[in-house]
């Protein structure tokens, strides 16, 4: 190559270099102006990020992520146990709630119709013979009884039989002797029959049918001290008015002699009238040879507070006046006990199987009706004038048994 050719090629290279240095370069479709030497720095307002972005090819704008709807977290009650998925440990056991005392947890007691627990309703009845001699007063245990029978016994002096079912008192007494017609009433529930001795015919019946056929015989002679711990004599009263026990001891005795199991409801129970519908006043008077019983209706409590010989009858066990919810006066034919080896005691026989006249007072109203009993173990039922079962008010029932022809004074209350 000649010197001239070399010079031409060098000039061409220089021209190309100048052109390249001043040319506009296109990089990835972006037009970039090269800085001019000696020119000022970019203004502070120019964002470095913007400059950098401008110096790079734009990435495609990413598509927005799809919106995912979140399932809201379940609302957790403050006392809720954690979910089983939240922990590998087992969830805590729930705290047991106390049993609510609501009507849903109760059943009607078979002898009173009152709402009680199923356990109380299943208790077997215990019938206890109670003294009514003036020296025996005040007696104990009346206000816990479901049903009380009061009837002539001997010498013109009546006697009580208290039947306990859903409640038991602390003290019970004085306990006295058995009578045949009381056994027939106790047999309506095959009760445990608690007594201290008895009339000859009554003791014969208990020996033959006192193992549950009619009743369960619980005689003081066998089950009292010193032979057994269930019945005893107290030292603050004279015999024979001093034989006593307690509700707990008699329940243990009933269990011991096999008097167990629930009984059926024999009577019909309605509802207590609202206070505004109850009558004002009203009274009942029943007279025995040596005793007078008065009931004065109390519309506030819907009961019949009881008086004996003109004084309020107070239960010595709890100190409260005796006040049954229902009062029934039942007329029965009585006669001297046939073949009694001690006729001077004036013991009686009562015709309690059959039918007879009755007065029934409940909810402040008194009506005339009848009583009926078909057999030893069938219930004594009380019917209105049309032969329909009378609806008693839930609560304690007193049955005043009097001889046929006895005058009974009943004063009706007035409408409010």
Query: Is residue 160 predicted with pLDDT exceeding 60?
Result: yes
pLDDT at 76: 32
Q: Where does residue 357 rank: exposed (0-12), middle (13-18), buried (19+ CB within 10 A)?
A: middle
Query: Is residue 273 predicted with pLDDT exceeding 60?
Result: yes
d(CA 74, CA 120): 45
Q: How far is CA 183 from the centre of its chain?
A: 31
CA angle 173, 176, 182 (to 5 degrees): 110
pLDDT at 10: 41
Closest CA to 130 of 343, 317, 294: 317
pLDDT at 245: 98
Higher-confidence residue: 163 or 102?
Answer: 163
Residue 408 φ then ψ, to 5°: -120, 130
Closest CA to 131 of 308, 257, 277, 281: 308
Q: What is the pTM of this model?
A: 0.75
What is the average pLDDT value for the chain, to the nearest integer?
A: 81
Mean pLDDT across the stretch 160-168?
97
Whole-angstrom CA distances from 38 to 20, 41, 54 are: 19, 9, 22
Least confident among 80-89, 112-121, 263-272, 287-296: 80-89
pLDDT band at 282 (very low <50, low <70, confident <90, very high): very high
pLDDT at 156: 77
d(CA 298, CA 281): 7
d(CA 335, CA 352): 12
- Assign 29 to helix, strand or coil: coil
pLDDT band at 103 (very low <50, low <70, confident <90, very high): low
Q: Order of strands across the sheet with 171-172?
A: 171-172, 243-246, 232-233
Please check whether residue 294 is in contact with residue 324, taking contact to mean a CB–CB distance below 8 angstroms.
no
Q: What percent of the chain has pLDDT over 90?
A: 70
Mean pLDDT across the stretch 94-119?
74
Higher-confidence residue: 63 or 383?
Answer: 383
pLDDT at 154: 86
Please check whether residue 324 is in contact with residue 391, taking contact to mean a CB–CB distance below 8 angstroms.
no
Mean pLDDT across the stretch 343-351?
91
For 194-250, write each residue's pLDDT tens digit: 999 999 999 999 999 999 999 999 999 999 999 999 999 999 999 999 999 999 999
If one counts every other C-beta atom within 10 angstroms of the C-beta of residue 219, the result is: 20
Rg of the chain taking only CA atoms, in angstroms = 49
pLDDT band at 374 (very low <50, low <70, confident <90, very high): very high
Query: Is residue 74 predicted with pLDDT exceeding 50?
Result: no
Higher-confidence residue: 12 or 274?
Answer: 274
d(CA 273, CA 33): 108
pLDDT band at 290 (very low <50, low <70, confident <90, very high): confident
Please check whether residue 353 is in contact with residue 184, taking contact to mean a CB–CB distance below 8 angstroms.
yes
d(CA 190, CA 214): 5
Domain boundaries, the chain: 105-411
pLDDT at 79: 33
d(CA 200, CA 180): 9
Higher-confidence residue: 24 or 362?
Answer: 362
Pick the CATH number of 105-411 from 3.30.70.20, 3.50.90.10, 3.40.50.300, 3.40.50.920: 3.50.90.10
pLDDT at 56: 31
CA angle 402, 403, 405 (to 5 degrees): 110
């Amino acid at each position: 190559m000649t010197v001239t050719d070399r010079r031409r090629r060098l000039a061409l290279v220089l021209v190309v270099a100048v052109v390249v240095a001043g040319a506009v370069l296109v990089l990835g479709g972006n037009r970039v102006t090269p800085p001019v030497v000696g020119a000022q720095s970019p203004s502070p307002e120019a964002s470095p990020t913007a400059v950098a972005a401008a110096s790079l090819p734009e990435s495609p704008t990413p598509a927005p992520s799809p919106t995912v709807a979140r399932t809201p977290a379940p609302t957790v009650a403050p006392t809720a146990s954690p979910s089983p998925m939240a922990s590998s440990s087992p969830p805590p056991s729930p705290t047991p709630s106390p049993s609510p005392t609501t009507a849903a947890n109760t059943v009607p007691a078979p002898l009173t119709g009152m709402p009680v627990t199923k356990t109380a309703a299943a208790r077997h009845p215990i019938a206890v013979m109670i003294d009514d001699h003036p020296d025996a007063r005040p007696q104990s245990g009346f206000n816990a009884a479901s049903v009380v029978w009061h009837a002539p016994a001997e010498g013109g002096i009546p006697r009580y039989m208290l039947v306990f079912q859903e409640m038991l008192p602390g003290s019970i007494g004085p306990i006295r002797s058995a009578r045949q017609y009381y056994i027939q009433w106790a047999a309506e529930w095959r009760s445990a029959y608690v007594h201290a001795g008895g009339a000859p015919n009554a003791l014969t019946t208990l020996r033959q049918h006192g193992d549950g056929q009619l009743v369960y015989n619980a005689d003081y002679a066998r089950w009292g001290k010193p032979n057994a711990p269930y019945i005893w004599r107290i030292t603050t009263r004279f015999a024979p008015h001093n034989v006593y026990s307690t509700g707990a001891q008699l329940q243990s005795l009933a269990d011991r002699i096999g008097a167990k199991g629930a009984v059926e409801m024999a009577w019909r129970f309605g509802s207590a009238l609202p206070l505004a519908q109850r009558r004002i006043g009203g009274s009942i008077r029943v007279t025995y040879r040596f005793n007078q019983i008065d009931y004065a209706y109390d519309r506030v409590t819907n009961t019949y507070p009881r008086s004996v010989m003109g004084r309020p009858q107070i239960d010595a066990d709890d100190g409260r006046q005796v006040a049954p919810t229902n009062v029934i006066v039942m007329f029965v034919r009585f006669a001297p006990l046939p073949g009694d080896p001690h006729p001077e005691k004036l013991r009686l026989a009562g015709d309690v199987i059959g039918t007879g006249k009755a007065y029934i007072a409940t909810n402040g109203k008194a009506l005339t009706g009848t009583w009926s009993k078909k057999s030893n173990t069938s219930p004594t039922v009380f019917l209105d004038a049309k032969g329909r079962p009378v609806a008693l008010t839930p609560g304690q029932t007193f049955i005043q048994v009097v001889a046929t022809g006895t005058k009974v004074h009943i004063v009706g209350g007035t409408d409010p």
